[in-house]
Chains A and B, each alone.
Chain A
Amino acid sequence: MKHFSLMIRNLTRRPGRTTSLILLTAFLAMSLFCGTVVVSSLRRGLNSMENRLGADIIVVPAEAESKVSMKNLLLQGTIGTFYMDASALERVRETEGVEKASAQIFLSSMKADCCSVKVQIIGFDPENDFVVQPWIAESLNHQLGDMEVVVGCRVETDVGNNFRIYDRNCKVVAKLASTGTGLDTAVYCNMNTIHILLQAAEEKGISHKIDSGNDSEVVSAIYVKVLSGTDPGLVNNRLNGHVRKATAIRTAGMMTEVADSLSGVSRTIAVLIGAVWLLALIILFIAFSMMVNERRRELAVYRLLGMSRKMLSGMILKETALCSFTGALCGTAFGAILVFPFTTLIETSLKLPYLTPDAGSVILYACLAMMVTVLVGCAAGSGTASRLSRVDPGTTLREGA
């Protein structure tokens, strides 16, 4: 029987006390790990969205904003099917201060046509696009051909499969990396393909006609990049005055709104974690204080038999560290089980871009959560260890003799 086995016996033969300590520390580790992962995922989601958006202004049909929130369209993949005359693209390009403009056409798939839920189909012009193309280029090494589609990471299909939209077969040529936004559930194709699909939708009775009657030349949104050094606000105002039946929206406003929401959620999570930690720490200190009285006699025996104060406090600290480590390991593992399978649910509930960190970062967060929990557990136990190591064995053993 060596010191370590003595320690294990002390822990295993007091299952109630040991389990309580493990549960408390597990709770601490779980809250820290889950909170960190959620906040980090939100930050990554926002960064990803900023990187992917790439446009300063979006021009949409005037009625589009009443049909769907632009923020929701981008963040949650809300289906938005609205159209305006394609001539708006030329009007935008003519506007002073516009460097680049690129149009997209949105179409919604029918439910149960290709997927378990409706998906947003986005047609873009690979020649002029500066929003989607650079991102698609990361996953596709050739120009997107006719009847070829690139799908978001959460669309349930694989590269090489046929993807059926309105009874038309499209070939999946690439699957995009996760962005943590609604773009993950979108399907991308070129303008020829989207026009074929619009026609197919028309045959199914889903109209995309606009008031002008020109149903072959429509666009849903025009993404605008302003000239360097030009005030986007000014260009936005010019576009609103220059392009008929359209509304220009600055993306910076959307991003600020999202960043504000994210900041609020982060603060709430931080406060919640703080409250959980405060509560758990109070319970932990109470548990350790109760342990002082419970173990006083046992530790007096160790002192009597020749354990020094340092050895005694070392033994208590090692026991605490072992309990805290076990708790931290269980808490982090349980936290992972809780937070990762429910990524979509969390994203939907928070209504914010949510991009889970890569494996390396997750391992780092797990290690940090465990380390902090073990350190806090040891810090909480150190006072007890110090008090217990100072027990007067003679007097203690006589008490209640």
Chain B
Amino acid sequence: MQLRAENISRRYFRKQGEANFFEAVRPVSLTLESGKLTVLNGKSGSGKTTLLNMLAGLLIPSEGKVYLNETDLYALEDRDLSRLRSEKIGVIPQGRSAVDTLSVYENILLPGILYGGTPRTEEAENWMKVLGISGLRNAKPAELSGGELRRMAIARTLTASPEVILADEPTGDLDSDNTAVVLSALQQAAEAGKAVLVVSHETDAEAYADRICHMKHGTIEQG
């Protein structure tokens, strides 16, 4: 499994200096391989999240293409792209990403049932235990702290077991102990054959990386 970005860029119409648009991501290419954990570092505003969203099939690039193996993501209809994302690409976004009307456990099982699949209960139990949120099984998202919500989102993605995992600041709300737990879990996923991308402005993740890339002013400096 390979997720490959070829010269993708993203421009927003925004007056900046002489230009009428702002280039959040300049043409970049990046390949995520199975079994590898790639860390993408960079300061806030460097274009990391924009790049991750384009890789996830959530944001159409202004130029360039994104391929999952040989499938051009943005050549697909919304229906097919959504299904492909549901099955093959797991995204851990920044911020709260829980459905408030569901319990923690139901949130974790949610990706598996969207297309009528069987809930992956065993995997859910396992990842909840690994990430230390077993006791929050029946809690509502509104009752959780930022760190607990973050671990719930990570457990949800790992439970779905997609072939590509794209994590945006997965340790942003976590203390050092939980940061280690989460990064170990992502490393474990990579070792199990997943292509993992961790986007972070901190350096904690670098110790777990197979490859480190730096992003600056919308471009990638390969590590």
Contacts and interface: CB of A to CB of B under 8 A. Distances in A.
Contact of A9 (B50, B56, B101): B101
B182 to A, nearest CB: 17
Interface in A25-84: none
Contacts of A2: 113, 116
Q: Which of A9, A303, A401 has the most CB of B within 10 A?
A: A401
Q: Which of B49, B101, B110 has the most CB of A within 10 A?
A: B101
A286 to B, nearest CB: 22
B95 interface: yes
Contacts of B113: 1-3, 6
A271 interface: no
B62 to A, nearest CB: 15
A9 B106 contact: yes
Interface stretch (A235-243, A277-285, A304-312, A372-380): A304-312
By DSSP majority rule, is chain A's interface helix, strand, loop, or mixed? helix
Contact of A306 (B87, B93, B95): B87
A310 B77 CA distance: 11
B83 interface: yes
Interface string B73-116: 00000110111011100010111111111100010011101111
Contact of B95 (A1, A3, A398): A398
A27 to B, nearest CB: 25
A393 interface: yes
Given A1-B119, A394-B59, A307 B114 contact: yes
Interface residues of B, number: 36
B49 A298 contact: no
B184 interface: no
Contact of A298 (B83, B85, B101, B116): B101
A291 interface: no
B185 to A, nearest CB: 19
Contacts, number: 92
B93 A399 contact: no
Contacts of B7: none
Interface residue range, chain A: 20 to 34
Contacts of B115: 306
B115 to A, nearest CB: 7
A306 B114 contact: yes
B2 interface: no
A306 B83 contact: yes
B28 interface: no
A304 B114 contact: no
Contacts of A1: 106, 109-110, 113, 119
A276 B200 CA distance: 55
Contacts of B95: 397-401
A13 interface: yes
A186 B210 CA distance: 98
Given A9-B101, A10-B101, A306 B58 contact: no
Contacts of A303: 58, 82
A297 interface: yes
B101 A304 contact: no
B114 to A, nearest CB: 6
A142 interface: no
B109 A307 contact: no
A392 B59 contact: yes
A14 B91 CA distance: 27
A334 interface: no
B219 interface: no
Nearest to B52: A394
B110 A394 contact: no
Closest 8 CB pairs of A and B: A306-B86, A401-B95, A308-B82, A394-B53, A13-B101, A397-B93, A308-B79, A401-B94
9 contacts: A298-B99, A298-B101, A301-B99, A305-B114, A306-B111, A392-B58, A394-B56, A400-B95, A400-B96
Given A301-B98, A305-B111, A397-B96, 11 more contacts: A1-B109, A9-B102, A10-B101, A14-B101, A300-B97, A301-B97, A392-B58, A393-B93, A394-B49, A400-B96, A401-B95
